[in-house]
């Protein structure tokens, strides 16, 4: 029991509660701050070693699950370095084949960078895809060197063979088609790549033969 005085109406009373910070004035209901030296004994108990340990355990970070855990593994490997954003995206793209929206949101949260920045990078480079891709990725080069050697007819042949549009994926999920501006072997044009394989000096019949290999 401690004697308190209301700082609002000056009313004095014997406080018997256990709150260690505030007491309510019985007359005007003003919240009276309890002075340090008058804190009720029961209120500010010293934490025992056991309860200290318990508090520390309770404050352990929550275990991440699902996409958050997957992203966290990669972000941890990159030591939460914001400058490693492209490498992080590449690693996740390689593992999953595409980058779902939830994944980009997690990266933004865990790296503590704006989501718009993550999107900027993920949409700028052709290496990243924000939609599911087929098992095999076909890239037809439409750069100048390949174009003058007939790459548009190669592209048409691929589209007809697979019955898909440019930037489309076959219904069975086996192939996705993209166009690129140069794959770095202009002398071999027209060129197309399937996954990591390069196919140059293409003639129309080659397209059917190559694609049937990946069926």
Shortest distance, position 105 Cβ to ligand FES, whole Å: 36
Shortest distance, position 59 Cβ to ligand FES, whole Å: 56
Q: Which is nearer to ligand FES, 134 or 143 (CB)?
A: 143
Residue 71 is a binding residue for ligand FES (CB under 6 A): no
DSSP labels, 121-147: HHHHSTT--SS---SEEEEEE-SHHHH
Shortest distance, position 73 Cβ to ligand FES, whole Å: 36
- Token pair 């994944």 is found at 103
Q: Which residues pair with 31 in a beta bridge?
A: 24
- Residue 174 makes CB contacts below 8 A (sequence gap 6+) with 134, 135, 136, 214, 215
Q: Which is nearer to ligand FES, 20 or 206 (CB)?
A: 206
Q: Which is nearer to ligand FES, 95 or 201 (CB)?
A: 201
Nearest-angstrom CA–CA distance, 142 and 192: 9
From residue 121 to residue 160, the character string flagging contacts with ligand FES as x (rule: CB under 6 A) and all else as - is: --------------------x-xxxx--------------
Shortest distance, position 147 Cβ to ligand FES, whole Å: 7
- Residue 130 makes CB contacts below 8 A (sequence gap 6+) with 98, 99, 100, 101, 104, 122, 123
In this structure, are residues 67 and 59 in contact, taking their beta carbons and an 8 Å threshold? no
From residue 158 to residue 197, the character string flagging contacts with ligand FES as x (rule: CB under 6 A) and all else as - is: ------------------------xxxxx--x-x------
- Of 171, 182, 169, 96, nearest to 138 (Cα)? 169
Shortest distance, position 109 Cβ to ligand FES, whole Å: 39
How many residues contact ligand FES, by CB under 6 A? 12
In this structure, are residues 32 and 11 in contact, taking their beta carbons and an 8 Å threshold? no
Name the residue with the smallest CB distance to ligand FES.
143
- Residue 89 makes CB contacts below 8 A (sequence gap 6+) with 99, 107, 118, 121, 122, 128
Q: Which is nearer to ligand FES, 18 or 197 (CB)?
A: 197
Shortest distance, position 190 Cβ to ligand FES, whole Å: 7
Instruction: Check the CA dihedral 215-166-118-182 and report its sign.
Output: positive
Q: Which is nearer to ligand FES, 159 or 170 (CB)?
A: 159
Q: Which residues bind ligand FES (CB under 6 A)?
A: 141, 143-146, 182-186, 189, 191
């Amino acid at each position: 029991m401690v004697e308190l005085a209301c700082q609002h109406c000056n009313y004095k009373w014997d406080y018997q509660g256990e709150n260690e910070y505030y007491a309510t004035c019985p007359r005007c209901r003003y919240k009276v701050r309890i002075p340090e030296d008058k804190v009720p004994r029961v209120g500010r108990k010293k934490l025992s070693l056991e309860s200290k340990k318990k508090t520390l355990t309770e404050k352990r970070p929550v275990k991440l699950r699902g996409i958050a855990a997957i992203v966290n593994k990669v972000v941890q490997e990159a030591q939460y370095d914001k400058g490693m954003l492209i490498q992080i995206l590449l690693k996740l793209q390689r593992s999953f084949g595409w980058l779902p929206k939830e994944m980009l949101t997690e990266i933004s949260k865990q790296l503590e960078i704006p989501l718009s920045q993550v999107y900027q990078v993920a949409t700028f480079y052709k290496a990243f895809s924000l939609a599911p891709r087929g098992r095999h990725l076909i890239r037809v080069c439409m750069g100048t060197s390949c174009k003058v050697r007939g790459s548009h007819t190669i592209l048409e042949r691929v589209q007809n063979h697979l019955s898909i549009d440019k930037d489309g994926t076959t219904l069975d999920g086996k192939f996705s088609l993209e166009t690129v501006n140069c794959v770095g072997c202009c002398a071999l044009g027209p060129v197309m790549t399937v996954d990591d394989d390069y196919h140059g000096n293409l003639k129309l019949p080659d397209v059917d033969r190559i694609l049937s290999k990946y069926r």
